[in-house]
């Protein structure tokens, strides 16, 4: 397709919405030329970095509304020239409070375009993709439920329908296969699609999914609440020292000293943060040595254990030993749930913004609410309120994937075992619940826990960058992913390791007689204990 031919076919009049029940506001179409994007693997999650250079494509942006809801939803479709199209379609997910149409999703689209995909993203009608402040409330006390439904699920199928319709109109044929890739909120979106719209995509990659959203997002405040309850806010360096000690002690549990924790369950059971109390650590915040306090050990233990009720009942999971609690160990990850700000010898808590927005806007429904005043009793009330008011929109924990299975869909989920935001146990619980309901789950859905990886990317571990291509092979020729390779450097950066990540409940086992722990061929996937530990049952 020449540039002139592309220009003549990439015009608004060539396209219609292709979706019933909504009203078109405007359809825009234009040719984009000389478009370049350096795409890091961090925004593709289970795909390698790539470079899009001087690309030409048709950008079709559809804006529509649901009658009576007063919303304005934007769907953006990028279409490579016909000779460059691989006859496949890829939807990309959002993150945080964003449904899509921001840097990460555009990076994923650029990567998809570089590989020949037609690709789509949606903003779900949200006026801000980084903060719910501008759109959450119609007025104090009144949540904008239509936009929340758009964000929770409605826009996901709509963008798939619109995107594939635009593809059909542009190329004169439907895509041969359709895929979705997302992590965090995007991972939750992927599972929402599999559960609610089982024919939307043939293959779904859902990383670190924000399942059981009301419980999860409230629990992000738990470390801060614990600090308030014990009236002690530690220096970040105290928490970091305990985390590093856990990595050092638990590293060898898999038989190899390589700077990451593979057996996080055993580490949690055997490493006691209080064993660090009284030891000294170098602390940049104080400019010298600092003695680790019992208060710091208490915060670490509470953060790992997860949110608890006043009578000791587990409310939600905590992050794992090895996860960065302060944002200082792995600055590229940006944040941790136990962050503090210390000035003049006095430390105060820095709550996770996702949690504070949730409490203020969606539970109290008052932007001026002071989150720092929350008590243990109020925290438990808020968690229940979130379940009651929003589970039908956000929980995304329905284990009945029979529709997706019967449609021939294939799905992979992955979760970093050093995730500092979303505990991997929620993903594991979900897989176990699906397996309990559908014993043949392994034939269409596989879950890969990834040692040492933080939230969606980063930290000490390495992402399985071949997993998306393995998903494609599973969808297109029936070759299921029995393992997936990953590469990383140890904590010192002195050695590079190649290993495999295994589909749960299998675990990677090192064969000592092989003698080369840095060689993936010395590792195999073997079925061990199920690993179900501290399972939290949540009603959908």
The pTM is what? Answer: 0.95
What pLDDT was estimated at residue 335? 78
pLDDT category of residue 530 using cuts at 50, 70 and 90? very low
Q: Kindly name the residue from 317, 455, 459, 484 that is annotated as catalytic.
A: 455
The model's pLDDT over 120-168, given as tens digits with 9 standing for 90+, comes to: 999 999 999 999 999 999 999 999 999 999 999 999 999 999 999 999 9
Q: How many other CB atoms are there within 10 angstroms of residue 279's CB atom?
A: 13
pLDDT at 531 over 50: no
Question: Measured between alpha carbons, how far is 525 from 505 in angstroms, rounded to an integer?
Answer: 9
Question: If DSSP codes are grouped into helix, strand and coil, which group holds residue 35?
Answer: strand
pLDDT at 1 over 70: no
Which of 72, 76, 73, 65 lies closest to 29, judged by CA? 76
**DSSP letter, residue 362:** I
pLDDT at 528 over 90: no
Which of 148, 219, 226 lies closest to 426, judged by CA? 219
Q: Residues near 406 by Cβ (< 8 Å), separated by ≥ 6?
A: 198
The model's pLDDT over 164-193, given as tens digits with 9 standing for 90+, comes to: 999 999 999 999 999 999 999 999 999 999
User: Average pLDDT in the 216-233 region?
Assistant: 97
Question: Measured between alpha carbons, how far is 300 from 234 in angstroms, rounded to an integer?
Answer: 10
Give 62's strand partners. Answer: 27, 75
What pLDDT was estimated at residue 115? 97
Question: Measured between alpha carbons, how far is 329 from 311 in angstroms, rounded to an integer?
Answer: 33
Question: Measured between alpha carbons, how far is 520 from 517 in angstroms, rounded to an integer?
Answer: 7
Spell out a b/e string for 477-511, using b for 16 or more CB atoms within 10 Å of the CB, else e.
Answer: eeeebebbbbebebbeeeeebbbbbbbbbbbbbbe
User: Average pLDDT in the 269-298 region?
Assistant: 96
Q: Kindly name the residue from 71, 324, 419, 424 that is annotated as catalytic.
A: 419
pLDDT at 196 over 90: yes
Phi-psi region for residue 452, left (φ > 0), alpha (ψ -120 to 50) or beta? left
pLDDT at 529 over 60: no
User: Average pLDDT in the 448-464 region?
Assistant: 93
The separation between CA 302 and the C-alpha centre of its own chain, rounded to angstroms, equals: 23
Question: If DSSP codes are grouped into helix, strand and coil, which group holds residue 243?
Answer: helix
User: Average pLDDT in the 82-96 region?
Assistant: 97
* Residue 240 is a catalytic residue: no
User: Average pLDDT in the 218-247 region?
Assistant: 97
Which of 181, 138, 122, 194 lies closest to 400, judged by CA? 194
The model's pLDDT over 199-215, given as tens digits with 9 standing for 90+, comes to: 999 999 999 999 999 99
Question: Measured between alpha carbons, how far is 333 from 420 in angstroms, rounded to an integer?
Answer: 9
Question: Measured between alpha carbons, how far is 112 from 120 in angstroms, rounded to an integer?
Answer: 10
Asked if omega into 505 is within 30° of 0 (cis), the reply is yes
Question: If DSSP codes are grouped into helix, strand and coil, which group holds residue 114?
Answer: helix
Q: Pinpoint the alpha helices (H) of 255-352.
A: 264-270, 294-305
**What is the domain partition of the chain in residue ranges?**
1-175, 222-350, 396-540
CA angle centred on 50, ends 45 and 54, rounded to 5°: 135
**DSSP letter, residue 151:** I
Give 205's strand partners. Answer: 181, 412
Question: Measured between alpha carbons, how far is 182 from 198 in angstroms, rounded to an integer?
Answer: 16
Q: Pinpoint the alpha helices (H) of 332-423.
A: 353-357, 376-394, 402-406
Report CA dihedral (6, 11, 15, 21) to the nearest 10 degrees.
140
Question: Measured between alpha carbons, how far is 193 from 73 in angstroms, rounded to an integer?
Answer: 18
* Residue 317 is a catalytic residue: no
- Percent of the chain's residues with pLDDT above 70: 96
Q: What is the 3-state secondary structure (H, E, C) of 37-74?
A: EEECHHHCCCCCCEEEEEEEEEEEEEEEECCCCCCCEE
* Residue 442 is a catalytic residue: no
Q: Kindly name the residue from 155, 165, 184, 391 that is annotated as catalytic.
A: 184
User: Average pLDDT in the 451-473 region?
Assistant: 94
**DSSP letter, residue 360:** I
C-alpha radius of gyration, the chain, whole number = 23
pLDDT at 534 over 60: no
pLDDT category of residue 512 using cuts at 50, 70 and 90? confident
What pLDDT was estimated at residue 489? 85
The model's pLDDT over 346-379, given as tens digits with 9 standing for 90+, comes to: 999 999 999 999 999 999 999 999 999 999 999 9
pLDDT category of residue 329 using cuts at 50, 70 and 90? confident
Whether 527 contacts 518, CB under 8 Å = no
The dihedral of CA 228, 230, 231, 237: what is its sign?
Answer: negative
Max CA pair span of the chain:
73
Q: Residues near 316 by Cβ (< 8 Å), separated by ≥ 6?
A: 212, 215, 216, 218, 219, 222, 306, 307, 383, 423, 426, 536
pLDDT category of residue 533 using cuts at 50, 70 and 90? very low
What pLDDT was estimated at residue 2? 64
pLDDT at 269 over 90: yes
Report the chain's mean pLDDT, rounded to a whole number. 94
């Amino acid at each position: 397709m020449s540039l002139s031919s592309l220009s003549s076919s990439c015009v608004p009049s060539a396209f219609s919405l292709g979706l019933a029940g909504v009203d078109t506001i405007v359809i825009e179409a234009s040719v984009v030329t000389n478009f370049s994007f350096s795409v890091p693997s961090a925004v593709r999650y289970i795909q390698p970095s790539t470079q899009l250079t001087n690309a030409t494509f048709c950008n079709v942006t559809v804006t529509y509304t649901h009658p009576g809801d007063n919303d304005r939803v934007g769907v953006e479709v990028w279409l490579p020239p016909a000779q460059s199209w691989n006859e496949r379609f890829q939807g990309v997910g959002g993150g945080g409070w964003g449904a899509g149409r921001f840097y990460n999703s555009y990076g994923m689209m650029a990567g998809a375009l570089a590989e020949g995909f037609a690709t789509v993203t949606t903003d779900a009608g949200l006026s801000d993709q980084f903060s719910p402040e501008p759109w959450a409330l119609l007025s104090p006390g009144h949540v904008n439920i239509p936009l929340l439904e758009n964000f929770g699920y409605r826009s996901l199928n709509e963008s798939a329908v619109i995107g594939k319709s635009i593809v059909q109109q542009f190329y004169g044929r439907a895509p041969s296969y359709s895929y979705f890739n997302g992590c965090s909120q995007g991972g939750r979106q992927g599972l929402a699609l599999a559960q609610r719209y089982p024919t939307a995509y043939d293959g779904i990659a859902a990383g670190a999914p924000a399942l059981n959203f009301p419980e999860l997002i409230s629990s992000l405040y738990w470390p801060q609440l614990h600090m308030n309850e014990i009236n002690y806010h530690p220096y970040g360096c105290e928490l970091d020292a305990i985390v590093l000690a856990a990595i050092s002690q638990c590293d060898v549990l898999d038989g190899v000293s390589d700077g990451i924790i593979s057996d996080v369950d055993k580490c949690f059971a055997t490493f006691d943060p209080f064993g660090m109390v009284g030891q000294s650590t170098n602390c940049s915040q104080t400019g010298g040595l600092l003695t680790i306090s019992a208060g710091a050990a208490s915060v670490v233990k509470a953060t790992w254990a997860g949110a608890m009720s006043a009578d000791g009942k587990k409310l939600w999971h905590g992050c794992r030993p090895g996860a960065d609690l302060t944002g200082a160990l792995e600055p590229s990850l940006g944040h941790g749930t136990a962050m503090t700000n210390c000035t003049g010898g006095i430390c105060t808590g820095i709550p996770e913004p996702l949690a504070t927005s949730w409490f203020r806007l969606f539970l109290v429904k008052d932007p001026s609410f002071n989150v720092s005043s929350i008590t243990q009793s109020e925290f438990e009330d808020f968690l229940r309120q979130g379940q009651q008011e929003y589970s039908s929109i956000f929980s995304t924990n329905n284990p009945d994937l029979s529709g997706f299975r019967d449609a021939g869909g294939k799905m992979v989920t992955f979760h970093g075992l050093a995730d500092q935001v979303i505990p991997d146990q929620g993903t594991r619980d979900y897989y176990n619940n699906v397996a309990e309901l559908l014993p043949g789950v392994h034939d269409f859905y596989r879950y890969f826990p990834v040692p040492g990886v933080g939230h969606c990317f980063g930290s000490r571990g390495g992402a399985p960058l071949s997993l998306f291509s393995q998903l494609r092979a599973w969808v297109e020729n029936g070759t299921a992913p029995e393992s997936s390779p990953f590469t990383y450097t140890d904590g010192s950066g002195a050695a590079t390791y190649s290993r495999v990540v295994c589909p749960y409940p299998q675990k990677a086992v090192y064969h000592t007689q092989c003698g080369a722990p840095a060689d993936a061929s010395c590792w195999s996937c073997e079925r061990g204990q199920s690993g179900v530990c501290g399972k939290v049952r949540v009603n959908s």
